[in-house]
Amino acid sequence: MIQEKQQDTAPLSPLAETLIGSEIVKLGGEIRERIKKGEKIYNFTIGDFDSSIFPIPQGLEDLIVESYRNKLTTYPPADGIPALRESVSRFIQKYEGLNYAPDEVLIAAGGRPLIYTAYRAIVGRGDKVIYPVPSWNNNHYVHFTEGEHIVIEAGVENNFMPTAENIKPHVKDAVLIAVCSPLNPTGTVFRKEELEKICDLILEENHRRGANEKKLYLLYDQMYWTLTYGDTVHYSPTGLRPEMKEYTIYIDGISKAFAATGVRVGWALGPKKVLNKMKAVNSHVGAWSPMAEQQAVSRYLKDHEGVEAYLEDFKSKISFRLRSIYDGLQSLKNEGFAVDACAPEASIYLTIRFDLKGKKTEDGKVLDAQSDVTAYLLNEAKLAVVPFYAFGASKDSPWYRLSVGTCKAEQIDEMLGKLKSALQKLS
């Protein structure tokens, strides 16, 4: 008689047993399953692009293909090929005015491994990490490194960005402040004066510390900096306070600038002391950007005319979608529906609000919690958006991230009409 195999319930590592999976990936998977079964859903959840709508630049694609045909498929250097680090150095100097030598540039397979290695290089067990919510994945990276979470919940009154006043009580003994501008999930940016105050706070704290004390660093994720609209201006810490160069690690790359999320070329800029440790960590993890893609990007970034033409067209298409949906939501608001949105500033995201808790559906069910609101929007309006609690905000936050990376322009009015119909059914 064959004995039935018992389920293995033995624990794995403490990290594995306590790690929480990505809420956004989980939600996206559920939506894709429903679409696969034939359900029509306006899926605005993922921070990615439909490459049939937003392809990478043709010039970049041609260079990638050429690189593979030239058999450029070996291991790259652990810090990135010299040609790419040189191109990045010149690119950010030309377009951002930031002066970083090639040996102050680190290449990896997109922004994620760079953020991970930055955390690993700086944060030890029990070290304080200050980060705002809503924000992308900082809670998970702090967990990875066994740091102490110092969470600041930012609100609409400050553009969902942390302020120096929020941060100041927590800087003593902190080792890292992790921020993002333009911000994922909100698409909002730091105002110049507030970023200056945060920089001054970091400089003051580091001047206070002794020579042998750990320093306070700023992790500045600016992956969306090329995608700003209207009068919006992107500011950088070292551009405002040159002395911040000693304490700032920039996270950047081509993923969002050129709709190239799957190409996997990212870079970090920062002090060599930190970058060398990040390089060492990544050399063991092996999250290198592929050789062929590095060779292609090193050449593409030098094509300033091509880069500028692509960005002009790309930004106009993204801006049109953000503005059209924003205007549609404002129209619904003006008609008396409990919806709102923040005017689009940057990135591929729109911050939207649904104050529908307590409303009653046609079948008499009360939307008691924000999760009920999310489910109602999906089931009745076929609108899939990501609640801010997936980015660390409180469970009852009425704010959501709407991503237009997969949005077809011709579906916007249709989606807004479906949403209005769903809102009309509530009482």
Mean pLDDT calculated for residue range 297-309: 98
Mean pLDDT calculated for residue range 12-16: 90
pLDDT at 1 over 60: no
Q: Are 97 and 113 in a shared domain?
A: yes
- pLDDT one-digit tens code per residue, 313-358: 999 999 999 999 999 999 999 999 999 999 999 999 999 999 999 9
Q: Are 236 and 322 in a shared domain?
A: no
- C-alpha triplet 118, 47, 265: angle, nearest 5°: 50
pLDDT at 33 over 90: no
Give the 3-state secondary structure of residue 386. strand
Residue 59 is assigned to a structural domain of this protein? no
Structure tokens given for 263: 């190409």
Q: Are 257 and 143 in a shared domain?
A: yes
* CATH number of the domain that residue 335 is part of: 3.90.1150.10
**Percentage of the residues of the chain whose pLDDT score is greater than 90:** 90
Query: Of 283, 303, 323, which residue sits at a domain end?
Result: 303
Q: Are 288 and 243 in a shared domain?
A: yes
Return the amino acid letter for 93. Q
Query: Of 268, 303, 338, which residue sits at a domain end?
Result: 303
373 Rama sector, left if φ>0, alpha if ψ -120 to 50, beta otherwise: alpha
Query: Of 277, 303, 329, which residue sits at a domain end?
Result: 303
Q: Are 106 and 236 in a shared domain?
A: yes
Q: Are 274 and 132 in a shared domain?
A: yes
Domain containing residue 394: 14-54+308-424
Structure tokens given for 362: 């046609």
Q: Calculate the alpha carbon distances from 36 to 18, 23, 31, 382 in Å.
A: 31, 20, 9, 14
Tell me the average pLDDT of the chain.
95
With bands split at pLDDT 50, 70 and 90, how would you rate the model's confidence at 4? Answer: low
**Which of 151, 153, 148, 152 shows the shortest CA–CA distance to 128?**
148
* CATH number of the domain that residue 263 is part of: 3.40.640.10
Q: Are 267 and 379 in a shared domain?
A: no
Listed in sequence order, the residues at least 6 apart from 188 whose beta carbon sits closer than 8 Å to its beta carbon are: 159, 160, 161, 182, 342, 345, 346, 351
Q: Are 239 and 338 in a shared domain?
A: no
Backbone angles phi, psi at 325, to 5 degrees: -70, -40
Residue 67 is assigned to a structural domain of this protein? no
Q: Are 388 and 282 in a shared domain?
A: no
Q: Are 36 and 167 in a shared domain?
A: no
Q: How many domains in the chain? A: 2
Contact 281, 297 (CB under 8 A): no
- pLDDT one-digit tens code per residue, 215-264: 999 999 999 999 999 999 999 999 999 999 999 999 999 999 999 999 99
Residue 5 is assigned to a structural domain of this protein? no
